[in-house]
């Protein structure tokens, strides 16, 4: 109990920072912190493989990608966003609040929710690997195709525009 609640609270606080901070880089780094804390939570819950993969992929790749994109799309001084259009913040809150409230109500009043884990689920790496190549093999192949398409597409999109020879 003492371990999980502070981590959850910190995850929510850093996500709040990611949503609320004005400067884009600060928001992106808060998001990275939130994802890193989620990885720590996974490790504490016993999903060691997932925790490390979350850290490596989200914090090590996605967050780096996002900050790199922020670097490449700078135009000088970033303008503060919160004070710019207060109307859209209220609108966003008004849209998100019912969704979150529904989910929270479902979480509190769920009928058959287990109260505490009866036993430690055991994850072994060899089982994970075997499942990936037997039961989940079609999914792995689809994800491989998707990742190849993403690689080619992103490289194509982000290429320097080819200069026309017509001058």
Partner 1 sequence: MSAVPELLSPSVPWWDLEWLPRLPQRVVEWIVQFLGLPEWLAQIAGMAVAAFTVVGVFAGAFALLSLIERKTLARVQNRLGPNRVGPCGILQPVADGIKMLTKEDIVPARAEWFLHLLAPVLIVVPAILALGVIPYGKSWTPVPLELGLLFFFAVGAMTELSIFMAGWASVSKFPMLGAMRAISQMVSYELPLMLAALGVVMVSGTMSLPEIVAQQGGFHLGFIPAWNLFTPWGLVAGVVFFIACIAEANRCPFDLPEGESEIVAGHMTEYSGFKYALFFMGEYLGLFAISGLGITLFLGGWQAPLPGLGFVPSWCWFFAKLSAVIFVFLWIRATFPRVRIDQLMRFAWLCLIPVSLLTLPAAALWHHAGRGFSGWALTLPLLAIPWLILTVTFNKRMAPQTRRFHYADS
Partner 2 sequence: MPLPSISFFLIASSILFGLGLIAVLSRRNAILILVGIELMLNAANLNFIAFWKYADPTTLPAAEISLTGPMMVVFSIALAAAEAAVGLAIILLAFRHTRSTDLNRLDSLHG
CA distance 66 to 117: 36
The option from partner 2, partner 1, none interacting with 125 (CB < 5 to 8 A, set by class) reads partner 1
Q: Should residue 27 be labelled a site residue for partner 1 when binding is judged by CB under 8 A? A: no
CA nearest to 49, candidates 128, 121, 166: 128
Query: Which residue carries 């970033």 as its tokens?
Result: 78
Q: Should residue 60 be labelled a site residue for partner 1 when binding is judged by CB under 8 A? A: yes
- Of 5-13, 62-70, 80-88, 141-149, the window that binds partner 1 (rule: CB under 8 A) is 62-70
Report the nearest approach of partner 2 to the CB of residue 165 (Å): 20
Within 10 Å of residue 59's Cβ, how many Cβ atoms? Answer: 19
Q: Should residue 47 be labelled a site residue for partner 1 when binding is judged by CB under 8 A? A: no
Q: Which two tokens stand for residue 17?
A: 């920072």
Report the nearest approach of partner 2 to the CB of residue 3 (Å): 6
CA nearest to 62, candidates 53, 72, 74: 53
Q: Should residue 53 be labelled a site residue for partner 1 when binding is judged by CB under 8 A? A: yes
Report the nearest approach of partner 1 to the CB of residue 95 (Å): 31
Chain mean position to CA 18:
11
Q: Should residue 59 be labelled a site residue for partner 1 when binding is judged by CB under 8 A? A: yes
Length reported for the chain: 167
Q: Should residue 43 be labelled a site residue for partner 2 when binding is judged by CB under 8 A? A: no
């Amino acid at each position: 109990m003492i371990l999980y609640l502070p981590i959850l609270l910190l995850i929510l606080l850093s996500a709040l920072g990611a949503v609320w901070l004005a400067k884009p880089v600060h928001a992106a780094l808060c998001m990275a912190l939130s994802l890193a804390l989620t990885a720590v939570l996974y490790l504490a819950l016993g999903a060691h493989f997932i925790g490390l993969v979350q850290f490596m992929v989200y914090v090590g790749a996605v967050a780096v990608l996002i900050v790199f994109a922020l670097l490449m799309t700078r135009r000088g001084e970033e303008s503060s966003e919160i004070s710019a259009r207060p109307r859209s913040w209220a609108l966003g809150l008004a849209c998100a609040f019912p969704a979150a409230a529904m989910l929270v109500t479902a979480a509190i009043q769920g009928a058959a929710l287990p109260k505490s884990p009866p036993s430690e689920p055991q994850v072994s790496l060899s089982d994970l690997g075997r499942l990936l190549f037997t039961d989940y093999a079609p999914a792995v192949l689809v994800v491989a195709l998707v990742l190849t398409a993403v690689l080619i597409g992103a490289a194509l999109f982000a290429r320097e525009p080819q200069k026309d020879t017509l001058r």
